[in-house]
Amino acid sequence: MTPALSCHGLRRSFGALRAVDDVDLTVEPGSRHALIGPNGAGKSTVFRLLSGRMRPDAGTVRLADRDVTRLSEVARCRLGMSQTLQHASLFASLTAAETVALAVRRHGPAGGGARIAPWPRRQPDVDARIAELLADVGLADVAARPVPALSHGERKQLEVALALACAPTVLMLDEPAAGMSPAESARLLALLDDLPRDVTVLFVEHDLDLVFDLADRVTVLHLGRVLHSGTPDEVRASDAVREAYLGTARREELFTS
């Protein structure tokens, strides 16, 4: 089966520091694949290389069977890749529904880049798509609420709705639970778990409880290299992973759920 997203021999240096060092990664279609590691492991750099925000010094990135190594973020989005960022910006002057409307009009009701004029007369298919996306991320009840009045968790949910507006085959999430309360993280987990399996999810996350509740595959980075990749149970049992995070501390101190 062709991977939904993959990279081979990925490298990126910043001066004398090799932040990403010969990384291979395979994300299977329909999987929920987590990318984790201690601080400074290279997770954010790998994410940027995969998404097109940064160019690699060496290596290749493939989206399904297509080489996208030299393509921009926009070009990758048109081919089915979408993303949320750890520190995304939303328009404070808009409501939740108006924010999603911008994305729907940019990509078309079916996604894929069939643009619509920014503020045309009301169109039933556009309105239906906006309502569907808000409902999918649990924001139907706050559609008319201004963005600044949304909670931190609701803004994260709104960002997921924007990412889904282009009907992606691969959804990339950069620390989606950052700054969330336990209740907000639980809502986010339910939202991501309910996404259809024709959307492959790759996410970078520090919240290991969320990682092991959601992921069916986990790749651990350490010092810019892949330390371990396997099922959640295999990663939990890995002495190398435990030592990378906590030195010689006990495994149960790291994995609490």
Tell me the whole-structure pTM to 2 decimals. Answer: 0.87
pLDDT of the residue at 205: 92
pLDDT of the residue at 112: 56
pLDDT of the residue at 166: 87
pLDDT digits (tens, 9 = 90+) for 40-98: 899 999 999 999 999 999 999 999 999 999 999 999 998 999 998 766 678 889 999 99
Q: How far apart are CA 209 and CA 192, in angstroms?
A: 14
pLDDT of the residue at 121: 46
In contact, 101 and 163? CB cutoff 8 Å = no
Q: How far apart are CA 19 and CA 201, in angstroms?
A: 23
- In the chain the domains, ranked by start, together with CATH numbers, are 5-254 (3.40.50.300)
pLDDT band at 2 (very low <50, low <70, confident <90, very high): very high
For 190, residues 6+ apart whose C-beta sits below 8 A from its C-beta are none
| pLDDT exceeds 70 at position 126 | yes
Q: Provide the b/e sequence for 177-196 (b: ≥16 CB within 10 Å).
A: beebeeebbbbbbebbeebe
Residue 11, SS3? strand
pLDDT digits (tens, 9 = 90+) for 170-209: 999 999 988 888 888 898 899 999 998 999 999 999 889 9
pLDDT band at 123 (very low <50, low <70, confident <90, very high): low
pLDDT band at 217 (very low <50, low <70, confident <90, very high): very high
Mean pLDDT of 219-240: 94
| Residues, the chain | 257
pLDDT of the residue at 91: 87
